[in-house]
Amino acid sequence: MKELSDEEMNAYGFPKGLQKLIRKDEGQANQSQVIQIREEENDQAKIINVLQLGQIYKFESENFSGHFMRHRSFEIWKDAKEGSNNTNNLFNLDSSFKIVPALWGGSPYISFESVNYPGHYLRHCGWVAFINKNDGKELFKKDASFRPH
């Protein structure tokens, strides 16, 4: 499975912090359920967020404050949060993903399931990001599993 480069992740709108996901090694009762996002500064790691499997997560662009990764017509886009309450409700659903165990690879891989389309997962395919329904094939499982590092 080809891992996405930093440039590819940025092109998809993934925040830089996601590229630095690592599993927590100590200090938690249920280690397999906890993921830390760390940021490296001068060889010093600082924790910027702690995630748990089952938690709802939004990807906010580091370069464009207030812009989030969301799906529209099953494609992933980086959009600003604007509009009426009805539009914001849809935006909130479209930009929310549940952190779930990886469809492929086991720990430390993770997958992101769409909140408003259960059974549809964030995946990369042909240099574009989508949410697609899990078809059970190995290629889909690999495309929808991300290795934190």
Q: Determine, yes or no, domain membership for 43.
A: yes
Whether 149 contacts 19, CB under 8 Å: yes
Q: Which residue has the tokens 């659903």?
A: 93
Could you report the per-residue pLDDT of 37-81, keeping only the tens digit for each?
Answer: 555 555 555 555 566 788 898 989 888 888 999 999 999 999 998
Q: How far is the C-alpha of 134 from the C-alpha of 35, rounded, in Å?
A: 24
Residue 5's pLDDT is: 57
Residues 6+ apart with CB under 8 A from 97: 56, 57, 58, 59, 112, 113, 114, 115, 122
* CATH number of the CATH domain containing 77: 2.80.10.50
Global pTM value: 0.68
Q: Determine, yes or no, domain membership for 148.
A: no
Q: How far is the C-alpha of 89 from the C-alpha of 34, rounded, in Å?
A: 28
Phi-psi region of 88 (alpha: psi -120 to 50; beta: other; left: phi over 0): alpha
Q: Where are the alpha helices (DSSP H) in 1-148?
A: 6-11, 85-94, 138-143
Domain that holds residue 72: 6-143
- Tell how far CA 52 is from the center of its chain: 12
Please, which pLDDT band fits residue 82 given cuts at 50, 70 and 90?
A: confident
- Comparing 82 with 119, the larger pLDDT belongs to 119
The share of the chain scoring above pLDDT 70, in percent, equals 62
Mean pLDDT of the chain: 75
Q: Determine, yes or no, domain membership for 38.
A: yes
Q: Determine, yes or no, domain membership for 66.
A: yes
Q: Determine, yes or no, domain membership for 30.
A: yes
- Comparing 27 with 50, the larger pLDDT belongs to 50
Give the number of domains in the chain.
Answer: 1
Q: Determine, yes or no, domain membership for 117.
A: yes
Q: Determine, yes or no, domain membership for 149.
A: no
Residue 112's pLDDT is: 96
Residue 51's pLDDT is: 62
Could you report the per-residue pLDDT of 122-131, keeping only the tens digit for each?
Answer: 999 888 999 9
Residue 105's pLDDT is: 79
Whether 23 contacts 31, CB under 8 Å: yes
Q: Determine, yes or no, domain membership for 87.
A: yes
6-29 burial, b at 16+ Cβ within 10 Å, e below that, comes to: eeebbebbbbeebbbbeebeeeee
